[in-house]
């Protein structure tokens, strides 16, 4: 068979080639957005495999599940099918650790809130459970001692008693375990290295201890997880290690038009450091626009109009007397980015109102709804009876059980060990409030090995009200073979990938709505970056910005997702970042919302 010239290294520039083929023990690629870091990482893996390295000896760490899926796909395309990749590990730190550790029961949201509530009571604290959980997580990841030490210890103790592992422990336990005898870390590659936290840094060191090569790539200007304890100095720490580091710098940007890059540079140069160098490779494109509307709502309407224009919504063009776009974009080529999920909700409504197909990626809101959390908690407990916090959450959320009853059920179930329906009936049969709970347990216990869809269907059928949240959960359940597999995937946030792969939201078909954090590493032909308003970006909590430089990096990440077309939008008072935009950006004010707007049903 004649081989076409599509080897993994074809088309790489000199620096990319150097990085992809370097044989040094530690290679660091530090470069700006769109310079082909991820492309180079993929090329390196393909090259290693072509050189005869077994895929089982290669592990690549990505920041998101979506990135892992895309990387695998690109490798399959390059190497001609799945079989060429057999044994290859590509995944997030969490999914790789889970694979290393084997069977663990992960703590779900409802049970976590339950445990936090217990601690808040025991320690006489005042914060909300979510806040405490964030603080505990930050403390565990920073590996520093501090005022929360006692609470963290008590929290860990509880997890141990209940047989649960949280996402932070997943990493810590994998670290304790070490790489074992597995060969998979002979060649270790880490994307988005700028955002790893100290525990992850240690994991990388541990896994790379006996490796032939460690390949770490990233961009310090795109570090956006400082709030979660990411270590801003991980590249320096890498260089300070005992193995010499070969550093490769990539300069050429292949992703974005010069206009987009000018805008990005103007913004990021407001952060300390040398002026950034981003050499455009693409020819001149359209000017970047900033459109300011009167309210968040009219901003949403303006976004919907812009998407209609970009996608060639012809009637709209005639009606609104708008400019023709440079070219027509498929919905799937367009992304709307915003700082928070909350902002995306309103935009989603506006798009749906105009029949624009869209999908909100990232962690889905329906998973936060009490009836969904409750049923997930119920099933977690059924899978692992030691998970009493999940039982407590389920009793409260689904059966409105009063506190003292929750306590006594949890206590007694805790003493039982294995669940036997006769035991449960003997102990709780006299309690009228628990009758329907007992019926539910009785009907599920024998079927826990069935497909999750079947179980959830049974649950939903028996609900007086089939909420949208439960419907979405049913949709997700269809993709999983076993209940534990599904519960785990939901906790790891992998469910969105399944939806994407299911074809319903297809490759070409829908505008993607995501947060700036979720957009990391991705690229789109057209990007609408929304919410450039005071309070939204930089995000203010209680009137204050937590970390202005990190918010600016986040804005920078958003801008640099765009290939050809970039529109920035805001409402009401402008974000201070608007003043940092270069003079070439076209400023458009739409102060008065169109009259049609007021009649929408959700207004």
Instruction: Looking at residues 338 to 397 of the shown chain, list those that interact with ligand ATP (rule: CB under 6 A).
Output: none
String of DSSP letters for 52-109: T--GGGEEEE-SSHHHHHHHHHHHHHHHTSGGGGTT-EEE-HHHHHHHHH-S--BPPH
Contact between 219 and ligand ATP per CB under 6 A = yes
In the chain, DSSP finds a helix count (H) and a strand count (E) of 24, 17
Under 8 Å between Cβ of 597 and 290: no
Q: Is 37 in the site for ligand ATP (CB under 6 A)?
A: yes
Q: Least distance (Å) from Mg ion to the CB of residue 32?
A: 10
Task: Decide if residue 12 touches ligand ATP (CB under 6 A).
Answer: yes
Peptide bond into 155 cis (omega under 30): no
* Choices 8-16, 108-116, 126-134, 233-241; region in contact with ligand ATP by CB under 6 A: 8-16
Would you state the torsion angle of the CA atoms of residues 364, 368, 374, 380, taken in this order, to the nearest 10 degrees?
A: 60
CB under 5 to 8 A by kind: which of ligand ATP, Mg ion, none does 219 bind? ligand ATP
Annotated ligand binding at 34? The verdict is yes
Q: Is residue 34 close enough to count as binding ligand ATP by CB under 6 A? A: yes
What is the nearest approach in angstroms of ligand ATP to the Cβ of residue 62? Answer: 10
Q: How far is the CB of 230 from Mg ion (least distance, A)?
A: 16
Residue by residue, DSSP assigns 249-274 as EE-EE-SS-HHHHHHHHHHHTTSSSS
Q: Is 540 helix (H, G, I), strand (E, B) or coil?
A: strand
Interface with ligand ATP includes 16 (CB under 6 A)? yes
Site residues, Mg ion (CB under 5 A): 37-38, 521
Backbone angles phi, psi at 131, to 5 degrees: -60, -45
Q: How far is the CB of 69 from ligand ATP (least distance, A)?
A: 15
Q: Which does 16 bind (CB under 5 to 8 A by kind): ligand ATP, Mg ion, none?
A: ligand ATP
Q: Nearer Cβ to ligand ATP, position 343 or 560?
A: 560
Distances in whole angstroms, Cα of residue 288 to Cα of each of 113, 306, 526, 570:
44, 13, 11, 14
Give me the 251-290 binding string for ligand ATP, x by CB under 6 A, dash otherwise.
Answer: ---xx-----------------------------------
Find, among 378, 381, 407, the residue nearest to 121 by Cα: 407
Number of residues that bind ligand ATP (CB under 6 A): 19
Alpha carbon 585 to chain centroid, angstroms: 30
Determine whether the annotation assigns residue 427 to a binding site.
Answer: no
Stretch that binds ligand ATP, among 34-42, 290-298, 408-416, 441-449 (CB under 6 A): 34-42
Other beta carbons less than 10 A from residue 315's beta carbon: 8
d(CA 342, CA 237): 36
**Residue 35 marked ligand-binding:** yes
Task: Decide which of Mg ion, ligand ATP, none touches 76; Cβ closer than 5 to 8 Å per partner kind.
Answer: none
Q: Taking CB under 6 A as the rule, does residue 35 contact ligand ATP?
A: yes
Q: Is 81 left (phi over 0), alpha (psi -120 to 50) or beta?
A: left
For the CB of residue 224, give the shortest distance to ligand ATP in the complex, in Å: 11
Of 8, 20, 30, 38, the one binding ligand ATP by CB under 6 A:
38
Q: Is 11 left (phi over 0), alpha (psi -120 to 50) or beta?
A: left
Q: Which two tokens stand for residue 451?
A: 């497909």
Which of 33, 91, 389, 452 touches ligand ATP (CB under 6 A)?
Answer: 33
Q: For residue 39, state whether it binds ligand ATP (rule: CB under 6 A).
A: yes
Q: Which residues contact 146 (CB under 8 A, 6 or more apart)?
A: 139
In this complex, which beta carbon is closest to Mg ion, that of residue 37 or of residue 563? 37
Q: Report the nearest approach of ligand ATP to the CB of residue 38 (Å).
A: 3
DSSP H helices in 324-402: 341-353, 370-383, 388-399
**Given candidates 229, 521, 538, 570, which one binds ligand ATP under the rule CB under 6 A?**
521
Give residues with Cβ within 8 angstroms of 276, minimum separation 6.
Answer: 32, 221, 265, 268, 269
- Residues contributing to the annotated binding site for ATP: 31-38
What is the binding site for ligand ATP (CB under 6 A)?
11-13, 16, 31, 33-39, 219, 222, 254-255, 521, 523, 560
């Amino acid at each position: 068979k004649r081989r076409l010239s599509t080897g993994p290294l074809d088309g790489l520039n000199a620096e990319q080639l150097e990085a992809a083929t370097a044989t040094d023990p530690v290679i660091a690629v530090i470069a700006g957005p769109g310079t082909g870091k991820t492309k180079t990482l993929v090329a390196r893996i393909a090259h290693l495999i072509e050189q005869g390295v077994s895929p089982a000896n290669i592990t690549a760490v990505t920041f998101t599940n979506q990135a892992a899926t895309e990387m695998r796909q690109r490798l399959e395309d390059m190497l001609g099918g799945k079989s060429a990749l057999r044994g290859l590990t590509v995944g997030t730190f969490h999914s790789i650790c889970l694979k290393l550790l084997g069977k663990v029961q992960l703590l779900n949201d409802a049970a976590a809130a339950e445990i936090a509530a217990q601690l808040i009571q025991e320690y006489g604290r005042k914060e909300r459970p979510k806040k405490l959980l964030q603080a505990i997580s930050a403390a565990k990841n920073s590996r520093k001692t501090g005022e929360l030490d006692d609470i963290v210890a008590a929290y860990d103790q509880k997890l141990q008693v209940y047989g649960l592992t949280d996402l932070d422990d997943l990493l810590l336990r994998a670290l304790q375990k070490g790489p074992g005898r597995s060969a998979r870390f002979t060649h270790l590659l880490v994307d988005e290295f700028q955002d790893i936290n100290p525990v992850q840094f240690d994991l990388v060191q541990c896994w790379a201890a006996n490796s032939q090569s460690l390949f770490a790539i990233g961009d310090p200007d795109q570090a956006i997880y400082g709030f979660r304890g990411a270590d801003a100095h991980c590249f320096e720490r890498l260089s300070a290690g005992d193995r010499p580091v070969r550093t490769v710098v990539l300069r050429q940007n292949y992703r974005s038009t010069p206009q987009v890059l000018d805008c990005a540079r103007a913004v990021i140069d407001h952060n300390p450091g040398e002026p950034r160098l981003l050499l455009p490779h693409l020819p001149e494109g359209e000017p970047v626009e900033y459109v300011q509307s009167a309210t968040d709502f009219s901003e949403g309407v303006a976004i919907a109009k812009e998407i209609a224009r970009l996608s060639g919504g012809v009637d709209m063009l005639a009606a609104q007397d708008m400019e023709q776009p440079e070219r027509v974009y498929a919905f799937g080529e367009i992304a709307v980015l915003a700082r928070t999920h909350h902002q995306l909700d309103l935009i989603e409504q506006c798009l749906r109102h105009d029949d624009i197909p869209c999908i909100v990626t990232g962690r889905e809101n329906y998973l936060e709804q009490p009836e969904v959390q409750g049923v997930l908690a119920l099933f977690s407990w059924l899978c692992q009876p030691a998970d009493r916090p999940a039982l407590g959450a389920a009793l409260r959320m689904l059966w409105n059980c009063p506190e003292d009853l929750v306590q006594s059920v949890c206590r007694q179930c805790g003493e039982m060990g294995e669940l036997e329906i006769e035991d449960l009936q003997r102990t709780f049969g006299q309690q009228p409030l628990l009758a329907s709970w007992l019926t539910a347990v009785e009907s599920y216990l024998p079927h826990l090995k069935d497909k999750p869809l079947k179980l959830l269907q049974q649950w939903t059928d028996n609900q007086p009200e089939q909420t949208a949240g439960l419907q979405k959960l049913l949709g997700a359940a269809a993709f999983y073979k076993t209940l534990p597999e599904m519960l785990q995937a939901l906790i790891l946030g992998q469910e969105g990938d399944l939806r994407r792969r299911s074809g319903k939201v297809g490759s070409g078909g829908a505008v993607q709505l995501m947060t700036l954090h979720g957009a990391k590493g991705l690229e789109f032909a057209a990007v609408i970056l929304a919410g450039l308003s005071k309070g939204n970006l930089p995000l203010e909590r209680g009137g204050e910005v937590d970390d202005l430089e990190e918010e600016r990096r986040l804005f920078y990440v958003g801008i640099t997702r765009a290939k050809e077309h970039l529109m920035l939008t805001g409402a009401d008072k402008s974000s201070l970042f608007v003043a940092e935009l270069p003079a070439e950006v076209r400023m458009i004010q739409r102060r008065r919302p169109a009259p049609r707007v007021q009649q929408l049903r959700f207004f």
